[in-house]
A and B are shown apart, each in its own frame.
Chain A
Amino acid sequence: MEKKIKKVDLIFGKVDYLDILDKSLQRSRDEIILDVIDSGLRGRGGAGFPTGLKWKFAKNEEADQKYVICNADEGEPGTFKDREILTEAPEKVLAGMALCGYCIGATEGYIYLRMEYNFLLPQLHEQIDAFNKQMKERNFEFTIFIRSGSGAYVCGEETALMESMEGKRGEPRNKPPFPTSQGYLGKPTSVNNVETLVFALMIAKEGPTKFKEMGTFDSRGSKVFSVSGDTPTPGIYELELGMTLEQFVEEFGDGDTKAVQVGGASGFCVARKHFKETLIGFEGIPTGGSMMIFNSTRSMYNILHDYLEFMEEESCGQCTPCRVGCQQLLKGIEAVKKGNKQPSYLEELQKLSDTMRIASKCGLGQSVPNPFNSIINNFREEIIY
């Protein structure tokens, strides 16, 4: 038997967050940032930018005001971990924001919560008020506010999120300038995922070594996974990074797993024959936590159709490759399925999806080729017949 997947409890375990903050505030900013860099922590929202570097860039900017934003616009199909973290360990998220604020020199933090999670608002408001009071008592200038989204997937993209907070359409900006130099209201801003902030807090508590020892070279530490689909044990699990998909499926599959969609609608579909050599992580297939398991009763055409419909609706429409590309891919597979187009039309569609990867402005359009090409390459016959 191969080694079992190691379960970890960094995110949900109770800690004395005030004690961690008090001790951190005694240390220098650079020291904490170096620890976060050293730990190898990368953003847990999906893109995987090194967190410590982001903080360092934001810290190095000269500005009269800076901001911390906690990205809780968890919209990727198949992810629900941030909701769970905000429900079970909200004080650790708030403390993580304050820690980030201390490191980069920001006095204001915002949580951008998707509207679908509005039922969390009453308790979050209470917790934030209490936390803000605790910071005041410590003479540490940091205040947290909360903002709601309004049902736009693209607002999880950090620059679209800031546009939305500024009261505009949530259309992604051009990068550069990056948010760490010109973010919310044009000020240096560190946008971090909910889970990332908690990991940063835990690294401040325990030092970088323990975190670094887990995982692989490119994917250090552990990660919260959202497991759904054809599995007897759907739910939220914090697991050490570095497992193969085969190990994952052994643990969570229902014995008849045909494919796993790693990383949600914008992620990759891996077929059974590739489970063994596929590593879950930044050197293999990265994920923001979404793991959707499909067994052999599922039609991959329906799955791809669902994803494309999702992308077509959620594309902000700002840039042509994404706006038109999503529509054409969706229409295209429908036409092939109906027999109105030859199967070879799929190759033309794949060329279009390659164009979307190169020419789209933000991650949404750039990642539509991931599910599209991986499903067509692995399950071409299911799309045609």
Chain B
Amino acid sequence: MTRIEEFVKEQAEKHGRDRNSLMPILQAVVQSERFLSEEAMVAVATELDLSTADVFGTATFYTFMDTFPRGKNIIRICKTITCHMKGKDAIVDTLEDMLKIKLGQTTTDGKFSLLQANCLGWCHKGPVMLINDEVYPEITPEKAVEVVSKYLKKG
């Protein structure tokens, strides 16, 4: 059994093998691996006795379930109107410069992916940035660099 298969099995035992458990299991895989590999999806399908197409179909519906590799840290910048008005473009530009990648890309060392997201629910404190599950409201380009540097040090 590979590492992923074992992980999926553990999760299936924890959450149950009903179809209802599909989302929590997929979410756990994304949480630990940052994306859903083919191997992981096949393993989930096997554990839950679903067709792989069903698992793939469900996974690809959701924005936060990537089916291709992402960086260890996923940076999401809110692009919806109020954050747009409060200057999210400057944050994107600054981080693109800092990480030497474009929106949607992952750094070559696999540490960061830089993405935009639809409304993150902090419109009164825009612009806002989400790194993995951590939220950083009212950021400026300087603050964004500072925060990302911290993650850079953590590795």
Decide: A226 near B123, CB < 8 A? Known: A119-B135, A306-B84.
Answer: yes
Bound together, the chains give a CA A236 to CA B18 distance in angstroms of 40
- B140 touches A (CB below 8 Å): no
On whether the beta carbons of B62 and A168 are closer than 8 Å, the reply is no
Q: Is A77 an interface residue (CB 8 A)?
A: yes
- Among the listed A150, A153, A165, which residue makes an inter-chain contact with B118, where contact means beta carbons less than 8 Å apart? A153
CB-defined A-B contacts under 8 Å, sample of 24 = A77-B119, A78-B119, A80-B121, A80-B122, A118-B133, A121-B133, A150-B23, A150-B27, A153-B118, A164-B23, A165-B23, A167-B20, A167-B23, A169-B58, A170-B61, A228-B126, A234-B125, A236-B124, A265-B81, A290-B123, A292-B82, A292-B123, A310-B119, A313-B118
Whether B124 contacts A75 by the Cβ 8 Å rule is no
Inter-subunit contact B85/A80 (CB<8 Å): no
Contact of A168 (CB < 8 Å), options: B18, B58, B82, B124: B58
Given contacts A151-B64, A166-B20, A169-B57, contact A77 B81 (CB under 8 A): yes
The reply to whether B124 and A235 form a contact with Cβ atoms under 8 Å apart is: yes
Assembled-state Cα–Cα distance A214/B77 (Å): 39
Q: Annotate A50-86 by CB proximity to B: 1 below 8 A, 0 otherwise.
A: 0000000000000000000000001111111001000
Closest-CB distance, A94 to chain B (whole angstroms): 20
Min CB distance B92 to A, Å, is 15
* Set A76, A170, A229, A310: member contacting B62, Cβ < 8 A: A170
- Determine whether A238 belongs to the interface, using a CB cutoff of 8 Å to chain B: no
Render B63-87 as a binary contact track against A, CB cut-off 8 A, 1 for contact: 1110000000000000011101100
Q: Is the CB of A150 within 8 A of B80?
A: no
Q: Is A117 an interface residue (CB 8 A)?
A: yes
Interface string of A153-173 (1 = CB under 8 A from B): 100000000001111111100
- B26 and chain A: residue at smallest CB distance: A150
B41 lies within 8 A of chain A by Cβ = no
A338 within 8 A of B: no
For B19, B27, B80, B133, the residue with the greatest tally of chain A CB atoms inside 10 Å of its CB is B80
Determine the residue in chain B with the shortest Cβ distance to A227.
B124
- The size class of the interface chain A forms with chain B is 35 or more
Contact yes or no, A150 B64, CB < 8 A: yes
Cβ–Cβ < 8 Å partners of B27 in chain A: 115, 148, 150
- Residues of chain B within 8 A (CB-CB) of A118 are 133
Besides the known contacts A75-B118, A115-B27, A168-B22, 18 further A-B residue pairs in the complex with CB atoms under 8 A apart: A115-B64, A116-B120, A118-B133, A165-B20, A167-B20, A167-B21, A168-B19, A169-B58, A171-B61, A226-B124, A227-B124, A228-B82, A229-B81, A230-B85, A290-B123, A292-B81, A307-B81, A314-B118
Q: How far is the CA of A118 from the CA of B30 in the complex (A)?
A: 13
Which positions 10-68 of chain B face chain A at CB distance < 8 Å? Answer: 18-24, 26-27, 30, 57-58, 61-65
Query: A167–B119 Cα gap in the complex (Å)?
Result: 24
Q: Does B142 contact A (CB under 8 A)?
A: no
Give complex CA distance A18, B82 in Å: 39
Cβ–Cβ contact A78 & B20, under 8 A: no
A234/B124 contact (C-beta < 8 A), A77-B80, A229-B82, A310-B118 known: yes
Q: Quick check: A298 and B85 within 8 Å, CB to CB? A: yes
- Top 6 A-B pairs, shortest CB-CB distance: A167-B22, A151-B63, A150-B62, A234-B124, A151-B64, A228-B123
